[in-house]
Amino acid sequence: MRGAVREHYGNLAKTGSSCCSTKESSCGCGGLYSQTEILSLPQDAIAVSAGCGNPTAIASLKPGMVVVDLGSGGGIDAFLSARKVGPKGLVYGIDMTPEMIHRARKTARETGIENVEFRLGEIEHIPLDAGVADVVISNCVINLSPDKQQVFKEAFRVLKPGGRLAVSDIVLISELPEDIRENLTAWSSCVSGAVSEKEYVGAMKNAGFEQIKVEDRVVYTHEQLSDYLKSYEYADRPELRGRNLSELIASYRITAVRPRK
């Protein structure tokens, strides 16, 4: 499973064929960021965007903060965070795909963004010391992990007491057909790895997080999800014919806090 995800996003890094569009969808930057934010971003980062939300909008970032971006990809949220925390702040982007790390580092060098550092590593084993971060963010990545509980434990570990977690992710509304849930391409595309809100929030609680809040949710319409699944040749499968696809998944933005004690 991990190898399939790494290959999928490695190819995305090489081709630059993101799913950004003018419409809000289950991936990409369309409708997720303000026009001002998009204009401020390096085009190379936008070109490989594969998020489902904008976690920086709910992260309460302030100058001087240290931020960790789990599954940073081409760096779109890391670069936005770097602008918000300023020169006295620092952003760590963590990604397991060498091609994405190479691309993000190259973009940072070429654009002169100095307060961001991209590290190769798995989000289940974050290559950072404990208690270094004021904020941990993630955008449509935790659902890709086969061990979400471990991801939240690691996020908790690297946060300072009182630190904040802000994630955008795909959450399951109803059960997926079995063949889609087991399909590697569907997993890599943020669909079949999704879990229910109860399971997702439960994993956060089990890791020790408190003040867990669903900031907002966007349930994908039949048209949005059907168009997305067609690109992966799912929509014409017998299990999905005549089904209201808006009942399957939604994009959530969730915040939580590591308690001070």
pLDDT in tens, the chain (261 residues): 455 445 544 454 445 544 433 334 444 445 678 888 888 887 777 766 667 789 999 999 999 999 999 999 989 999 999 999 999 999 999 999 899 899 999 999 999 999 999 999 999 999 999 999 999 999 989 988 989 999 999 999 999 999 999 999 988 887 766 655 554 444 345 565 788 999 999 999 999 999 999 999 988 777 776 665 554 455 455 555 555 666 677 889 999 999 998
Domain 2-257 -> CATH class:
alpha beta
Query: Could you give the dihedral angle defined by the CA atoms of residues 60, 61, 62 and 68, in that order, rounded to the nearest 10 degrees?
Result: 140
Predicted pLDDT of residue 107: 92
Is the pTM higher than 0.75? Answer: yes
From residue 180, alpha-carbon distances to 18, 146, 226 in Å are: 22, 15, 13
